[in-house]
Amino acid sequence: MPLPVGPDTAVYCKARDYDATTPIPLHHHPDRHQLIYAETGVLVVRAGMGRWVVPSTRAIWMPAGIGHQVHCIGAVRMRSLYIAPSHMPQAPATPSAVSITPLLAALIHAAASVAQPYREHSRDGRLMRLILDEVQTLPELPLHLPEPSDPRLRRIGRQLERHPDDASTLQDWAERLQVDVKTIQRLCARELGMTFGQWRQQARLLRALERLAVGEKVIDVALALGYESPSAFATMFKRRFGLTPSQFFR
């Protein structure tokens, strides 16, 4: 008869519910990869030099040993999978937002009620092995905003976070920072891997995700973020995420 298997097995799941605006301080899991999934609510995750906005029914992959902190937007039903690196040798080495299939969502929901320890060759053990197979097929989503280390870009980044509707041009920022436009362009390419315009657009779209996910209307979000019209916002949203706002949150 197989011996009971505890948290040292391939995969296990923990369920936690958080009130709106709950902060989860900086921490890391040295011996486990983590898939952080929100059944409801929105997660804003910071890790290293990046920020991710993760709406409900999406998740973030967090490799073992990576420090991260989480802020809950709205009440969050968090379901986390903890995976032993030895059982996923080709796992991504950097954090990423991923799409959750209906099958995996159902499997995670079931796994949350599996008691520890469980037997590897039991129904619960087979459930966890199927989860491991599904996790390795998840497509990455463009829900990441890089955060620069250069103090000049960090000043711009703080402004974009506080006021995503800020329409300041590169020339405006060059004058404020007392540098030339090409300096900012070089910094954006080197530290962010994108242009200033792409960075600002991504900041706006991620803030839009936060607001739409808690029920704000598209027209209110579009105008608050500096778009000329809801249709202009919807066009940009679909270009970036492949879906309209209503389709994305369906």
**Domain definitions of the chain by residue range:** 4-141, 148-248
CATH architecture of the domain covering 148-248: Orthogonal Bundle (1.10)
Taking the C-alpha atoms of residue 215 and residue 158, their distance in angstroms, rounded to an integer, is: 25
CATH number of the domain at 4-141, out of 1.20.120.160, 2.60.120.810, 3.40.30.10, 1.20.1180.10? 2.60.120.810
**101 burial via Cβ count (<10 Å: 0-12, 13-18, 19+):** middle
pTM: 0.86
Q: How many CB atoms lie within 10 A of CB 114?
A: 17
Consecutive 10-residue averages of pLDDT for the chain (250 residues): 54 93 94 94 91 91 96 92 93 93 95 87 91 93 93 95 92 96 96 95 92 90 91 92 85
87, 1, 89, 78: which is closest to 40 by C-alpha?
A: 78
